[in-house]
Each structure stands twice: as structure tokens, then as C-alpha cells.
């Protein structure tokens, strides 16, 4: 899988330094996407491409609902199910837990 799904070839800035920063940001996005795909996705969807991840997990609309004590996001279950989203969140949480020695 190449960087193409992230449109890294669109270096449309006129200044070299601007294009350099833009390319570095695309490389960072690619690496973060691969990190998510390899470490946080359940096996059932680990084969998803970066474009699929982008459209089904990252570029999804949500409604922010604020209550007296908490704020939550309401997302449609069109892209992925609630259970799958919760499984991904659990796997990400496990990645950031401190290691005790």
C-alpha cells in the first residue's frame, strides 16, 4: 500500500519549504493511519485500506450533545457498528495504559 490514498502527490504550494512541510504532514498522517490499522483494529477489519479507514472512522459526522455533567458524540451507525467502534476504542485505551514494572 502506497501513500497515494492520502493524496501525498498534491504538492501545490509555490514555495519549496511549504511543499516540504505539506509532504511531512502527509507522511505523518500515513504513519498514524498505519499505526491505527496495525495496532488498534480488530482482526475482522485489519485488512481495511487507509482510504477506508479515513472514510469510515475519521471523516464521519457526529452531533455533539452536551448534558449537565458530560458531553457525548452521537454518530450514525452507517459506517461501522457501535460494537466495532467500542472495540477499537478499547484497543486504543490498552495501548496507552502505563506499564508497571
CA distance 22 to 3: 13
- Domain extent for 19: 4-96
pTM: 0.61
Please count the other Cβ atoms lying within 10 Å of the Cβ belonging to residue 48. Answer: 17
Any domain includes 101: no
User: What nine digits make up the cell of 100?
Assistant: 508497571
Domain count, the chain: 1
User: What nine digits make up the cell of 85?
Assistant: 467502534
pLDDT tens per residue, the chain (101 residues)? 455 555 556 667 778 888 788 888 888 888 888 888 888 899 888 888 888 888 888 778 888 999 999 998 888 777 788 898 889 889 988 888 776 76
Any domain includes 14: yes
Amino acid at each position: 500500500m502506497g501513500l497515494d490514498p492520502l493524496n501525498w502527490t498534491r504538492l501545490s504550494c509555490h514555495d519549496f519549504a511549504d511543499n516540504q512541510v505539506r509532504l511531512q504532514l502527509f507522511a505523518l498522517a500515513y504513519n498514524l493511519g498505519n499505526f491505527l490499522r496495525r495496532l488498534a483494529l480488530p482482526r475482522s477489519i485489519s485488512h481495511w485500506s487507509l482510504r477506508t479507514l479515513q472514510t469510515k472512522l475519521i471523516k464521519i459526522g457526529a452531533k455533539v450533545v452536551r448534558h449537565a455533567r458530560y458531553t457525548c458524540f452521537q454518530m450514525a451507525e452507517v459506517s461501522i457498528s457501535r460494537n466495532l467502534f467500542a472495540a477499537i476504542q478499547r484497543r486504543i485505551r490498552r495501548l496507552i495504559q502505563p506499564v508497571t514494572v
